[in-house]
Structure 1
Amino acid sequence: MDILTIFKALILGIIEGLTEFLPISSTGHLIVFGDLLNFNSNGKVFEIAIQLGAVLAVVFEYRQRFVHIAKNIGRDAAANRFVLNLAIAFIPAAVVGLIFRKAIKTYLFNPISVATALIIGGFIILWIEKRMATREPKVKTVDEMRPKDALAVGCAQILALIPGTSRSGSTIMGGMLWGIERKAATEFSFFLAVPMMIAATTWDIYKNWSLFTVNDIGLIIIGFLAAFGAGLLAVKALLKFVSSKNYVPFAYYRIAFGGLIWLTATMGWVKWS
């Protein structure tokens, strides 16, 4: 491994960790920056590793809650409802993803598609935040969520299959539009990331097991640790942020970032793949 490749792996790991839980699309950022950096490692294997690093950051941050749920499932009504809600929210995107995953990756995994989704998603966030400013949420905490609330969030998560849309963005905004309080929607999005990303990682490992080589181990470790550390910071910072502010700044970031990609493509400054 040369120093430049190590640096690229570190950068992409940090990008995955920071963007996975923000409503700005981690997949979109990895596609764009991976293209810019011309990252030549085994991309699929590396992507699997850093996604797992990011999701484990949520498990670590909420380790006490997950342990409590594991100990009390089957015996405590709140624990049972929490697991049921996660299962219900998990199903829609998982089913649609299995059916259309190949087509989506073939036609939409490119910087221009990402830029388009970023811009459209930015305007949708602005609209939802404006709409919610005059409405009182019906569900104030994750523990108050009912199965139909979880289903609404799960259906919104289907949009996240489009790169550039953002899994966290679609679930948080979908939850808020349904009537879930901003912080509660954000926390549920964090929790939902765990089964969703573990399932996706397991599937990718199964499909791409033959691609794993000893030569990838060093870069995988670097990217994994970078994603874990950045993810932990992102989770803590986002919860603190939404306690007193809204998602409007992220909407403007999406629009500006997507617009910049379109501008560079139109002007020929960057030859996007």
Structure 2
Amino acid sequence: MLEALKVIVLGIVEGITEWLPISSTGHLILVEEFIKLDMSDSFVSMFNVVIQLGAIMAVVLIYFHKLNPFSPKKTEKQKLLTLQLWVKVLIASVPAAIIGLLFDDFIDAHLMNYVVVAITLILYGVAFIVVEKRHENAKPAVKRLSDLTIPMVLVIGCFQVLALIPGTSRSGATIIGGLLIGAARGVAAEFTFFLAIPVMFGASFLKIIKFGFHFTGMEVFLLLLGCVISFAVSVYAIKFLMQYIKNHDFKAFGYYRIVLGIIVLLYFGMTAMFAA
């Protein structure tokens, strides 16, 4: 029962922070300092990635009609545009897929620590503020998803590679990439949601393969529970973000990231100092 309560908390954190550009890893590393799953390290590492599947299903639910190229409610032109959108999503996924496969073990071994997480939280927090200030009076050149060109989505895909570094925030990196190419905030956010589908399915599949398929009954239960909670919370987080950016920019998330990064550095730095 206690482990289930821990998973519920972790699922809530994942559901909120996966879509807001504030780094789910940065928050999970803090939460796990106080709420540690009494499971093997290999299971916890796999759980933190696979729990994202619940968040992905929230995107599929909310945007099912927009993502479905076979909807009878769409015209032939709309179906073609939807297929083109999927092609762009898959093209943008290539850079992260290649780099992720090559460096997944290295990242887990050398970059999954509080110093890296804190630094990236702060750096991309500053980046959000700078990018937004530069675009305060600029009119977006890309106002619809269909306006995104192949070179544009490749740029966004390259920014997604940066998110392989813990603490960066996948949504944060790709939204910054979208803003830099002139996309409207809503377009940048939606493309980020869609881009997450193949990337997170791929990352989850890779982690499950590495973990092996020898799950205990408790492990299956905890994994499913985490996915369900992250799904339910993600539905509200996505709707909140899309409503928020109608009247606000991303600077508030930048300031939040900077404060969180400083907290992570101070907390773990002091913990390490007193433990020495």
TM-score over 0.5 for the pair: yes
**Counterpart residue number, 1:54:** 55
**Would you say the 8 A contact 1:264–1:270 is kept in 2?**
no
> Are residues 69 and 28 of structure 1, via their aligned partners in 2, closer, same or farther at CA, if it must alter by over 3 Å?
farther
The answer to whether the 8 A contact 1:31-1:109 is kept is: no
| 1:59-74 alignment runs, 5 A limit | 59-68=60-69
Q: What amino acid is aligned across from residue 197 of structure 1 in structure 2? A: M
Task: Give distance in 2, aligned partners of 1:270 and 1:50.
Answer: 33
CA distance in 2: counterparts of 1:125 and 1:98, whole angstroms: 28
Q: Which amino acid aligns with 2:239?
A: K
Q: Which residue in the other structure is 1:126 paired with? A: 129
Deviations 1:171-196 (A, max 9, x none): 00111011111110001001111111
Structure 1 48/160 Cα, relative in aligned 2: closer, same or farther at 3 Å? closer
Distance in 2 of aligned mates of 1:123 and 1:35:
26
Answer yes or no: is 1:202 the counterpart of 2:232: no
> Residues 18-66 of structure 1: CA distance to partner in whole angstroms, max 9, x if unpaired?
1111111112222332233122233134224411111111001111122
Using the TM superposition, give the Cα deviation of residue 270 of structure 1 relative to its aligned residue in structure 2, in angstroms.
8.8
Q: What RMSD over aligned residues (CA atoms) do the two structures have, in Å? A: 2.2
Q: What residue in structure 1 maps to residue 110 of structure 2? A: 107
Gaps of 5+ in 1: none
Give the percent of matched residue pairs that are identical in Structure 1 and Structure 2.
37
Which of 84, 90, 93 is the equivalent residue of 1:81? 84
> Contact 1:114–1:164 (CA<8 Å) still a contact in 2?
yes
Structure 1 residue 80: Cα displacement: 2.9
Q: Partner letter of residue 123 of structure 2?
A: I
Helix, strand or coil: the match of 1:253? helix
Q: How much has 1:83 moved relative to structure 2?
A: 1.5
Distance 2:174 2:195 in 1: 9
1:167 pairs with 2:170: yes
| 2:95 counterpart of 1:92 | yes
Aligned to 2:26: 28
Q: Which moved more, 1:144-153 or 1:45-54?
A: 45-54
CA contact (8 A) 1:45 1:212 kept: no
Give the aligned residue type for 1:21: W
Amino acid at match of 1:26: S
Q: With structure 1 as the length reference, what TM-score do the two structures score?
A: 0.92
Aligned to 2:16: 18
CA contact (8 A) 1:19 1:26 kept: yes
**Equivalent-residue separation in structure 2 for 1:40 and 1:49 (angstroms):** 17
Mapped to 2, the partners of 1:7 and 1:205 lie a distance apart of 23
- Which structure 2 residues correspond to residues 242-253 of structure 1 after superposition, within 5 A? 242-253=245-256
Give the counterpart letter for 1:264 in structure 2: Y
1:184 aligns with 2:209: no
Q: 2: CA distance between counterparts of 1:270 and 1:243?
A: 44
C-alpha separation in 2, matches of 1:242 and 1:17: 18
The match for 2:35 is 37
TM-score when scaled to structure 2?
0.91
Q: Distance in 1 between matches of 2:183 and 2:30?
A: 32
